[in-house]
């Protein structure tokens, strides 16, 4: 958790916003690979 707080402060984001951004990037990558259906 401390690493997440450090990463968030470096990017000047809250931990919550950092996690949301990371999850969106990950889901987009899975869609690109065809492992998830494309969102509507």
2-10 vs 15-33: helix crossing angle, rounded to 10: 90
User: Does any domain span residue 40?
Assistant: no
Number of domains in the chain: 1
User: Does any domain span residue 7?
Assistant: yes
User: Does any domain span residue 15?
Assistant: yes
DSSP, res 36: S
User: Does any domain span residue 12?
Assistant: yes
The pLDDT of residue 24 is: 96
User: Does any domain span residue 39?
Assistant: no
The CA distance from 35 to 18, in Å, is 23
User: Does any domain span residue 23?
Assistant: yes
| Domain region containing 24 | 2-33
Along the chain (40 residues), what's the average pLDDT of each consecutive run of 10 residues? 95 97 96 85
The pLDDT of residue 39 is: 67
DSSP, res 12: T
């Amino acid at each position: 958790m401390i690493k997440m707080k450090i990463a968030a402060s470096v990017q000047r984001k809250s931990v919550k916003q950092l996690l949301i951004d990371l999850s969106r990037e990950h889901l987009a990558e899975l869609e690109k690979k065809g492992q998830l259906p494309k969102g509507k």
